[in-house]
């Protein structure tokens, strides 16, 4: 693989002098070490049908047969002092050091080392079937700073996380979740919704072209191509309708009804989310996403300069697949450390870029996982700088946007028995929670 970022450069097939590292383009087989017989995006019980990063081999300590842990059974309490009165005046460093468990640091390090982004079936709640006989856990009131109602909030989150995580593949600029909520709620046309529809639809059209799917008889190809080339913010709804109507047996009926009945996109929020959710699902089935899965989310850089289009000694961007000649940038020498191109510099949106972990910036996460469960089997998610609690049985959703509300939630959890895993995760990511909630 070509060397990434950190002041690295790449030559076209050979070694050479100068600062940085020069490598050639990897061979066709360098990006994947083995072939998988199944589709990499399909869920399967067979280990042979899944890529290595879906393997459960690293999570054997979370199986239901092994519930022992260095933290379980000890008095472990998350402490967040100072949040009752002057939460906003507490320094970030002080808040990061405030949360502590009474368990020894060695036990905490052992637990943190064993937590490797587990898959849903590795999180266990052995008492969830008997949750009715357990002490009830009544959650504190939810925040209300988001504009969307709670019954459709999680659907909007699913769409946003796809657009945020794979924005470079979809060709979207990063944006805040709050901006998306406002765009969905607005009755008039918005540029954000238009760009989301247009870029997702263009990606699907390109994928259909790669699969050699045609939308009309051969003698009408020019007519269909004209309609596609007219795709822009004022016409995307009509192009989308014609695209879905081209094969009503292939596409869901509710999506067809959403774009056909009424004047889309001037329709209720539920119908907008239905269409956007379907477009995101189609992206997750596309060849572009399959390529992301095959390379395990790693960035594959271009061979030619993004500015002049010529090969040669180039400097690699740490945020995207672009590369540039040194003379095509404003740089005089190869920079030390991380370097971002001009486009990635513009994409550093406060509340998005600064709240993304360094690992996620260098490798696109393939899937999102809940951070834990409580005694009633409710899922806890850490998304868009908030803690979300999802009850799949009742369809309820709670979210907490501020540190005082987060402290109220932690005070109700049982860190000794029922929620000891969840409390350990909260303790592990506490500095990140403090930073992101203060940003919110």
DSSP 161-180: HHHHHTHHHHT-----HHHH
- pLDDT bin (cut points 50, 70, 90) of residue 127 is low
What is the edge-to-edge ordering of all strands in the sheet holding 314-316? 9-10, 314-316, 323-325
User: Does the pLDDT value for residue 100 go beyond 50?
Assistant: no
Distances (CA, A) of 3 to 6, 16, 36, 184, 315: 9, 14, 26, 41, 10
Average pLDDT over residues 98-109: 38
118, 63 in Cβ contact below 8 A? no
- pLDDT bin (cut points 50, 70, 90) of residue 168 is confident
DSSP code for 388: E
Interacting residues of 424 by C-beta distance below 8 A, sequence separation 6+: 69, 71, 76, 101, 108, 111
Average pLDDT over residues 260-267: 88
403, 181 in Cβ contact below 8 A? no
User: Does the pLDDT value for residue 250 go beyond 60?
Assistant: yes
d(CA 421, CA 69): 9
Q: Note the pLDDT of residue 129.
A: 65
Distances (CA, A) of 414 to 374, 418, 424: 9, 6, 11
Distances (CA, A) of 423 to 344, 410, 427: 36, 8, 6
Q: Note the pLDDT of residue 136.
A: 87
Average pLDDT over residues 179-208: 92
pTM beyond 0.85: the answer is no
- pLDDT bin (cut points 50, 70, 90) of residue 200 is very high
Average pLDDT over residues 337-350: 87
d(CA 378, CA 391): 5
Which pair of structure tokens corresponds to residue 127? Answer: 């008492």
Of the candidate ranges 41-50, 288-297, 315-324, 366-375, the one whose mean pLDDT is the lowest: 41-50
Interacting residues of 373 by C-beta distance below 8 A, sequence separation 6+: 123, 125, 128, 379, 380, 421, 422
Distances (CA, A) of 11 to 6, 164, 193: 16, 32, 41
pLDDT in tens, 376-396: 889 999 999 999 999 988 889
- Closest-CA residue to 290 (of 105, 108, 41, 8): 41
Residue 86 DSSP SS3: helix
User: Does the pLDDT value for residue 177 go beyond 90?
Assistant: yes
For the chain, the straight-line distance linking the first and the last C-alpha, in angstroms and rounded, comes to: 38
């Amino acid at each position: 693989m070509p060397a990434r970022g950190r002041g690295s450069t790449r030559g076209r097939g050979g070694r050479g002098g100068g600062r940085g590292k020069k490598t050639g383009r990897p061979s066709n087989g360098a990006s994947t070490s083995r072939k998988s017989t199944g589709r990499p995006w399909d869920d399967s019980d067979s280990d042979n049908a899944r890529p290595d990063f879906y393997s459960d081999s690293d999570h054997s300590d979370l199986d239901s047969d092994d519930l022992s842990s260095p933290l379980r059974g000890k008095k472990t309490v998350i402490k967040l002092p100072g949040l009752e009165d002057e939460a906003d005046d507490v320094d970030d460093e002080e808040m990061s050091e405030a949360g502590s468990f009474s368990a020894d640091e060695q036990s905490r390090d052992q637990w943190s080392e064993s937590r490797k982004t587990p898959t849903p079936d590795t999180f266990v709640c052995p008492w969830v079937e008997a949750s009715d006989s357990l002490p009830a856990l009544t959650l504190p009131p939810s925040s209300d700073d988001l504009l969307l109602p709670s019954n459709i909030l999680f659907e909007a989150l699913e769409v946003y996380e796809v657009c945020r995580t794979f924005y470079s593949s979809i060709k979207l600029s990063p944006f805040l979740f709050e901006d998306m909520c406002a765009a969905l709620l607005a009755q008039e046309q918005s540029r954000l919704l238009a760009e989301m529809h247009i870029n997702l639809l263009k990606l699907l059209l390109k994928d259909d072209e790669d699969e050699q799917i045609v939308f009309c008889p051969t003698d009408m190809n020019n007519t269909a191509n004209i309609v596609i080339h007219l795709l822009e913010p004022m016409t995307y709804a009509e192009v989308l309708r014609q695209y879905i109507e081209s094969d009503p047996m292939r596409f869901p009926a509710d999506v067809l009804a959403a774009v056909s009945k009424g004047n889309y996109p001037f329709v209720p929020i539920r119908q907008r989310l239905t269409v956007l959710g379907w477009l995101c699902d189609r992206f997750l089935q596309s060849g572009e996403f399959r390529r992301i899965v095959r390379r395990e989310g790693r960035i594959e850089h271009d061979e030619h300069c993004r500015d002049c289009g010529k090969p040669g000694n180039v400097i690699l961007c740490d945020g995207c697949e672009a590369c540039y000649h040194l003379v095509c940038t404003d740089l005089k020498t190869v920079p030390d450390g991380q370097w971002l191109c001009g486009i990635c510099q513009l994409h550093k949106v406060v509340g998005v870029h600064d709240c993304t972990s360094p690992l996620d910036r260098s490798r696109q996460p393939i899937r999102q996982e809940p951070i834990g469960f409580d005694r009633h089997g409710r899922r806890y998610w850490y998304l868009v700088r908030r803690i979300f609690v999802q009850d799949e049985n009742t369809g309820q959703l709670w979210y907490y946007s501020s540190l005082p509300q987060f402290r109220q939630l932690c005070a109700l959890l049982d860190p000794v028995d029922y929620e000891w895993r969840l409390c350990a995760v909260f303790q592990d990511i506490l500095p990140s929670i403090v930073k992101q909630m203060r940003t919110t």
